[in-house]
Chains A and B, each alone.
Chain A
Amino acid sequence: MNRRFPVARKTLRDYRGQVLAMAFVAALIGFMDILIYPQYRDALGDFKMPDCMQSMIGEGQSITSPAGFISGEFFSWVPLLFITVAIIAGTGATAGEEATGTMDILLAQPIDRRRLVLEKAAGIGLSVCAGMLLSLLGFYVAKPFADFPLSAWRLTETMVATMPIVLLFGALALWAGVTFPSRGIAAMASIGVLVAAYFLQLMGPTLDLLRTPQKFSPFYWSDASHVLVNGFDLARFGGMLAVAAVVLVAALWNFERRDVTAGTREWSLRSLVRRNHEEPEPSEGPARSELRKA
Chain B
Amino acid sequence: MTGREPPAILTDGLSKRYDVRFALDGLSLRVEQGEIFGFLGPNGAGKSTTIRLLLDLIRPTRGRAEILGHDCQRESVAVRDLVGYLPGDLRLYGGLRGHETIELFASMRKRRTDPAFVKEIAAELQLDLQKHAGALSKGNRQKLGVLIALLGDPKVLLLDEPTSGLDPIMQRAVWAILRRMAGRGLTVFFSSHVMSEVEQICERVAILREGRLVTVQPVSELKAHGLRHVVVSFAGAAPAAGSFAIPGVREVERSHAAIEFEVTGEIDGLLKALAAYRVADLRTEQPSLDEILLAYYEGATA
Chain A residues at the B interface, C-beta cutoff of 8 Å? 1-3, 6-7, 10, 14, 100-102, 104-105, 107-112, 259-260, 262, 266, 277-278, 280-286, 288, 291, 294
Interface majority SS (helix, strand, loop, mixed), chain A: loop
Q: Is the CB of B13 within 8 A of A280?
A: no
Q: Which residues of B contact A (CB under 8 A)?
A: 10-15, 17-18, 26-28, 30, 52, 55-64, 76-78, 80-81, 83, 85, 87, 89-93, 95, 103-110, 145, 148, 152
Given A6-B104, A10-B104, A288-B12: A262 in contact with B89 (beta carbons within 8 A) = yes
Contact partner of A111 among B11, B15, B18, B77, CB < 8 A? B77
Given the complex, which residues of A lie within 8 Å of B30, measured CB to CB?
A: 291, 294
Contacts of B61 in A (CB 8 A): 277-278, 280-281
CB closest residue in chain A, given B105: A109
Closest CB-CB distance, B73 to chain A, in whole Å?
A: 8
Residues of B within 8 A of A14 (CB): 95
Chain A residues, CB < 8 A from B26: 284-285
**A–B pairs, 8, beta carbons within 8 Å:** A7-B108, A105-B85, A105-B87, A111-B80, A280-B62, A284-B62, A284-B63, A291-B10
Q: A108-B57, A285-B28, A291-B28 are in contact. Are A102 and B106 (CB under 8 A)?
A: no
Which of A2, A110, A283 lies in contact with B81, CB distance below 8 A? A110
B31 to chain A minimum Cβ distance, whole angstroms, is 11
Q: Are A110 and B58 in contact (CB under 8 A)?
A: no
Which listed residue (A7, A262, A286) contacts B28, Cβ 8 A? A286
B58 proximity list for chain A (CB < 8 A): 259-260, 277
Q: Complex formed: what's the CA distance from A112 to B78 in Å?
A: 10
A-B contact count (CB 8 A): 111
Taking the closest CB of chain B, its distance from the CB of A114, in whole angstroms, is 10
Structural contact, A260 and B57, CB atoms closer than 8 A:
yes
Q: In whole angstroms, how far apart are the Cα atoms of A112 and B64 in the complex?
A: 19
List of B residues within 8 angstroms of A104 by Cβ = 52, 57, 85, 87, 91
A266 and B23 alpha carbons, distance in the complex (Å):
14
CA distance A258 to B91 in the complex (A): 21
Chain B residues whose C-beta falls within 8 Å of the C-beta of A266 in the assembled complex: 18
Across the interface, name the chain B residue whose C-beta is closest to A284.
Answer: B13
Task: Closest B residue to A4 by CB, please name it.
Answer: B107
| B89 & A101 in contact (Cβ 8 Å cutoff) | yes
Residues of B within 8 A of A101 (CB): 87, 89, 91
Give the shortest distance, in Å, between A98 (CB) and chain B (any CB): 10
Task: Assess A110 versus B57: contact at CB under 8 Å? Given A6-B104, A104-B87, A105-B91.
Answer: no
| Closest chain A residue, CB of each to CB of B79 | A110
Query: How distant is A140 from chain B, measured CB to nearest CB, in Å?
Result: 33
Q: Which residue of A lies closest to B89 (CB)?
A: A101
By the criterion CB–CB under 8 Å, are A107 and B57 in contact? yes
Most buried by A among B12, B61, B91, B95: B91
Assess whether A277 is in contact with B59, with CB atoms less than 8 Å apart: yes
In angstroms, Cα B148 to Cα A291, docked, is 32
Chain A residue at minimum C-beta to C-beta distance from B64: A283
- B103 CB contacts on chain A under 8 angstroms: 1
Report whether A278 and B17 are in contact in the complex, using a CB–CB cutoff of 8 Å: yes
What separation, in Å, do the CA atoms of A2 and B112 have in the docked complex?
11
Tell me which of B13, B58, B92, B148 has the highest count of chain A C-beta atoms within 10 A of its own C-beta. Answer: B13
Q: A112-B76, A283-B13 are in contact. Are A262 and B106 (CB under 8 A)?
A: no
